[in-house]
Chain A
Amino acid sequence: MTGRARARARGRPPAQGTAPPAVGAATAQETLPGQLPRSTKPQQPLAVSPVPEESAGRGRQRQTRNVPQGQKERKPEGLQIAAEFQELSLSDRGGRRRDFHDLGVNTRQTIKHVQESKTGTSGSVIKLVANYFRVMSRPQWALYQYHVGYNPEMEARRLRSALLFQHEKLIGKTHAFDGSLLFLPRKLDNKVTEVFSRTRNGEDVKITITLTNELPPSSPACLQFYNIIFRRILKMLNLQQIGRNYYNPNDSITIPDHRVVVWPGFTSSILQYEENIMLCADISYKVLRSETVLDFMYSLYYQVEESRFRDACAKELIGVIVLTKYNNKTYRIDDIDWGGNPQHTFRKADGSEISFVDYYKRQYNQEITDLNQPVLVSQPKRRAISLPGPVILIPELCFLTGLTEKMRNDFNMMKDLSIHTRLPPEQRQHEIRKLRDYIQNDENVQKELQDWGLNFDSHLLSFPGRVVQGEKILQSGNVFDYNPQFADWSKETRGAPLICPKPLDNWLLIYTRRNYDVANTLVQNLFKVTPSMGIKMKQATMIEVDDRTEAYQRALQQSITPDTKIAVCVLSSSRKDKYDAIKKYLCTDCPIPSQCVLARTLSKPQTAMAVATKIALQMNCKMGGELWTVEIPLKQVMIVGIDCYHDTCAGKQSIAGFVASMNQTMTRWFSRCAVQTRGQELVDGLKACLQTALREWFKWNKCLPSRVIVYRDGVGDGQLSTLVSYEVPQFLDCLKSVGRDYNPRLTVIVVKKRLNTRFFAQCGEALKNPPPGTVVDVQVTRPEWYDFFIVSQAVRNGCVSPTHYNVVYDTSKLQPDHIQRLTYKLCHMYYNWPGVIRVPAPCQYAHKLAFLVGQSIHKEPNLQLSDRLYYL
């Protein structure tokens, strides 16, 4: 579901402060009231937002940032500098500042049995290439940080620089200086150096240069420094920065049919990996639209009725990221103020009132032609506390970026797009290498790198990975092997009896008059496909309704009896309101499983049987049936999957889906969700979920699980430390509260799908996608984590994306190999897809549940359904 990534990308709870130091941080100690090197500060000093509160100086922001904002965790003193540095790299554009790489969260040190080794052993070796370049530095390379003091005190930064660099011989040509902190690639002879400079009007100034820090290459501060240097380089290559990545407008691809422009570019980061500091570079595409928000509103106005116009605007625009005509910032539209217009005034930083029209005319020479357009409201994300007040934007001056929901659902549009953006492995690797070539071939860039004593390996990283053996699919006494190349067993298991078929004997089929034929055909086809599965089926109660939401609702209300097993609705369009109404009613007020299906899906004769098979399986799961299993050697283990959905519209609530296994074969699941309202932590709800899950488990198994393994999806970049310091202790608390003698082993694994990491399998000269079951736990993993990658799914087009697993807490004492194998096994257990998926099944179930609740139901479904996969 594409909507998901988007929903998640938009709403994330704010990340918490910096976590404990990383392994390499040993020497990053001293605290200085440091300023940031100005060169990397935002580039638009005049780009004052038209809202007064926004225009307060950066200094103020920084001050308030150092105050922990309602967080219990205290920031260790020694990390002040590293924190400053983090800001530095991320504040490059004045945008959100966060440690996106979760630096300094050292979880491996707490897990005893992986201190020596965290690598698995099983499987066959495969030669892999990854999209990483080693960062090469001189031996014994370090970054030296100095404090520079002036006596008498000099105010002007320019002058401070000029005075200091009168001693260029001493300092060297390569330096980064912000007026107070000086960074050098080499060490000065003395720890404290005093020099004298003379101003042009003859005043003598004593300059004291004191060594405050020697930063080893792997220290967080140093890594941030690399990233800054690298950003500089990307700018030198004339790439355009949008958001966090850099794009090349000269190679843009225009798709005029959809008014869309795609910019190719790069996403990159430099980090300390297992053995080396490396640059991870991947190609990235930015979708931009050649229309302003106002253009978009106009065209929408002609498409919808007047009465629905405002709602339609809100639906299409809220959450969208816009670029402005006058600065290089991106803003997220949080609201549309229909009462506002460009003639309204605001108070400038100097206290004077000015209208938006006049401001933009005077400041940027931007003509606003439509004086009656509403204004857009963007809430600054993290500064909300120190700088209240939203940013007001003018639709006419804002350009849309990214895809709207509507575009995502437009098959043709996505097809056109994927032609350009889905590159096969060979081509992708070629594009990635381009970055390296750009760097290699640009004289200025080479000089900059040499000055700092840095360079990049000319080859992509290659190393061995392992392909673990495929699983056997067990289904009612039958054992199936599947072709590992496709990781799909739909053909193999066709016609085989299910583990637990549920009779389809009392069910409703609701359709409109127009769809009578397809509904009828569906029943006929179900009669054909169900017997071999072992499903006992009877004729449905057929109900014809008008094509209106209320008609469906009335039919459900009137026809459902306590014995109804499932209600099937044939819908004539993908209008969401009808679907939502049906789901809401059948998940809350009248809890029975339901199956909605589009008439169009059923109407194609060539796929009718396949569709009927799929629907039969899906309905069986929704009614509590079981399809297949794989061999699970672990006993008395409860597997939990958690994922979140962040609602962008309705009150911005977040929903966590929580799914826990109830039996040893992992075929039955207990599902609940936690709806988080404003001001409440999601983790409270999760705790309650875990408690009920344990109770349920006890009912099923007459004992409590001796192990609990949690797969936690939906953790944003930079949220790891929060998870480790709040959520994990809460889980432990919860387990403790069950009983005095109850002390199960807990494993918490953070699952991450949105990665820039790519693996290519080397087959002779050619590069291909690595086969499903490829496990990587060397080189590109992080030394401070117990982490690994698995490529579990197979893709037809483009490059496969590995999933990252980070075991943040583990008292299970299970060997890494076993955790890896178990994880891969669980990727086989998602019943809506007869194949291996990207994440362990419980995560996907949790996602499905959270998505349904977030999109359609908006409150917790009835608990009577919790023992079935009703949300599939």
Chain B
Amino acid sequence: MDKNFKEGQFQGTIKFTPPLSKQRYQFIKDLVAKYRPKKVADLGCADCKLLWMLKFCSCIEVLVGLDISASIMREKMHMLSPLPVDYLQPTERSLTVTLYHGSVAHKDPCMLGFDLVTCIEVIEHLEESELNKFPEVVFGFMAPSIVVISTPNVEFNTLLPGVTSFRHPDHKFEWNRAQFQSWALETARRYDYSVEFTGVGHSPRGMENIGFCTQIGVFLRKCPQTGGFAPSDKSSETVYKTVFKAVYPSLKDEKYLQNTLVGEVVFTAQIIKQSLLNHLMSEREERNDNTTERKAQLQPCFSKDTRKLGVEKSMEPFVKGNVVYVPLKTIFSFPKVNQLCGTFEKLCKLIAGKVKLSSGGYVLLLSTEHEDG
């Protein structure tokens, strides 16, 4: 219980470890791990830190940030761009990250259909008029499966050093637990959500009655989304401005799948070729140890030892003249290739025209020419 803060010498100096902001983000990450949402939006995303943390969560396919200040988002938005490695090794999941400039008091259809909407330390910055519109926009219009709202618990302020009125000059209000909970319960009731209260930042021992430093409400929509809501109901004009958009490379995109697959196929074929040639070489050396022939001309010959590559007899690769013949079935039997394309037909279709194939189209041809050094 005492682990997450250190009590100073004097009553009233509290330092949270890890910092409270991190604890809030960790709370969201845990929630994501629990519910595995696909579409997540962060309202009031500011410097995009939470979004950056969430982009590593493999369940999320759509990640959206919304903030009233475009310049703050712009400062760090590039850390939401794909990394070079994302291009080198595209993953199965697709991910699109979008940042919008706009207000939580306005409805925009781009916010529809989300599984999770987070609203971390935002509502206390809203003017009364905005706060009044907030429930209708978030719960009524966006209507995601889960909403998470966090806000300071003003009761805790007495324990915070140097805080006289509000924790931040821009706060329009800070609620106690009763205020927050009544607002939350009323909102939940009106829009048919259930709500659970929790928080981060435990109070010190003996003062548990004060509650968490940050209070959190987790809202779950009671009725599951009735499959395919009619967009016309909710249609309204787009008012948000797109500030940033990044589409991550994904194997779902045929271009990346093809690239990755061709790479893997060629690499696999090279391994097969190499082991075949090594095998032939050693066989040759054994046989004609005294030959004066210096340049090894590879004779048509079948290898019998390709079973170690996990290959069935019917699809054995072989060498003929200067060409190595590797049946696509052999390549398909390699797990990595198999995993990428799934079916043999898809393999054939995707690599067609990208690699040199036999006239029948089922055998990959490689030249042995490079190997005479």
Contact = CB atoms under 8 A, between A and B. Distances in A.
A and B form one complex? yes
Interface stretch (B72-80, B228-236, B322-330): B72-80
Given A200-B172, A366-B56, 14 more contacts: A156-B168, A159-B170, A199-B170, A200-B171, A235-B78, A254-B259, A259-B267, A263-B84, A288-B84, A290-B88, A325-B83, A350-B18, A363-B56, A603-B294
B165 interface: yes
Interface string B37-60: 000000000110100110011100
B72 A328 contact: no
A339 interface: no
B75 A238 contact: no
Interface string A157-177: 011011000000000000000
B362 interface: no
Query: Secondary structure of the A side of the interface?
Result: mixed
A201 B165 contact: yes
Interface string A279-299: 000000000111000000000
Nearest to A600: B373
Interface in B338-373: 370, 373
Contacts of A856: none
Contacts of B12: none
Contacts of A798: none
Question: Interface range on chain A: under 10, 10 to 19, 20 to 34, or 35 or more?
Answer: 35 or more
Contacts of A200: 169-172
A43 B77 CA distance: 8
Interface of A: 38-39, 43-46, 156, 158-159, 161-162, 199-201, 203, 235, 238, 240, 242, 247, 249, 252, 254, 256-257, 259, 261, 263, 288-290, 323-328, 350-351, 363-366, 399, 412, 514, 600, 603
Contact of A256 (B166, B168, B266): B266
A257 B270 contact: yes
B266 A257 contact: yes
B29 to A, nearest CB: 8
Given A158-B72, A365-B58, A203 B169 contact: yes
B262 A201 contact: no
A43 B262 CA distance: 34
B20 to A, nearest CB: 13
Nearest to B354: A256
A43 B72 contact: no
A470 to B, nearest CB: 38
Given A254-B259, A259-B267, A350-B18, A240 B89 contact: no
> 10 nearest interchain CB pairs?
A256-B266, A43-B79, A365-B56, A199-B169, A256-B263, A249-B87, A364-B56, A39-B75, A325-B85, A200-B170
B84 A254 contact: no
Interface in B60-114: 71-72, 74-76, 78-79, 81-85, 87-89
Nearest to B54: A365
Given A43-B79, A257-B266, A252 B18 contact: no
B225 interface: no
A323 B270 contact: no
B13 interface: no
Interface in B234-285: 249, 259-260, 262-267, 270
Interface in B282-336: 294
A365 B58 CA distance: 7
A323 B84 contact: yes
Q: Which of A238, A326, A412 has the most CB of B within 10 A?
A: A238
B17 interface: yes
Contact of A254 (B53, B81, B262, B294): B262
Contacts of B17: 350-351
Nearest to A573: B373
B196 to A, nearest CB: 24
Contacts of B82: 240, 249
Contact of A162 (B47, B170, B263, B266): B170
Contacts of A252: 87
13 contacts: A43-B76, A43-B78, A46-B49, A158-B46, A203-B169, A249-B249, A256-B262, A259-B267, A289-B88, A323-B85, A325-B89, A363-B56, A399-B89
Contacts of B249: 249
Contacts of A43: 76, 78-79
Given A43-B78, A200-B169, A412-B370, A242 B84 contact: yes
Q: Which of B81, B85, B259 has the most CB of A within 10 A?
A: B85
Contact of B83 (A38, A156, A238, A327): A327
A603 B53 CA distance: 61
Contacts of A263: 84
Contact of B79 (A44, A199, A288, A364): A44
Contacts of A289: 88
B57 A365 contact: yes
A249 B373 contact: no
Contacts of B260: 290
A200 B170 CA distance: 5
A699 B260 CA distance: 67
A254 B266 CA distance: 11
B211 to A, nearest CB: 23
B89 A290 contact: yes
Contact of B267 (A162, A199, A256): A256
Nearest to A401: B84
Nearest to B169: A199
Contacts of A259: 263, 267
B293 to A, nearest CB: 12
Contact of A45 (B49, B74, B264): B49
Contact of A38 (B53, B75, B88, B168): B75
A201 B168 CA distance: 9
Contact of B85 (A46, A256, A399): A399
A95 B131 CA distance: 44
A162 B125 CA distance: 13
Contacts of B49: 45-46
Contacts of B85: 323-325, 399
A400 to B, nearest CB: 10
A285 to B, nearest CB: 14
Contacts of B46: 158
A238 B81 contact: yes
B84 A240 contact: yes
A328 B79 CA distance: 8
A366 B18 CA distance: 21
Nearest to B88: A290
Nearest to B373: A600
A159 B84 contact: no
A299 to B, nearest CB: 8
Contacts of B57: 365
Contacts of B259: 254
A600 B373 CA distance: 8
A715 B367 CA distance: 44
Contact of B53 (A46, A351, A399, A600): A46
A45 to B, nearest CB: 7
B373 A46 contact: no
Contacts of B370: 412
Contacts of A249: 82, 84, 87, 249
A50 to B, nearest CB: 15
B84 A328 contact: yes
B290 to A, nearest CB: 12
Contacts of A256: 262-267
Contacts of A288: 84, 88
B83 A328 contact: yes
A324 B83 CA distance: 9
A1 B45 CA distance: 52
A184 to B, nearest CB: 15
Interface in B131-185: 165-166, 168-172
Given A259-B263, A325-B83, A399 B88 contact: yes
Given A254-B259, A257-B266, A240 B170 contact: no
A516 B18 CA distance: 74
A257 B264 CA distance: 9
A600 B372 CA distance: 11
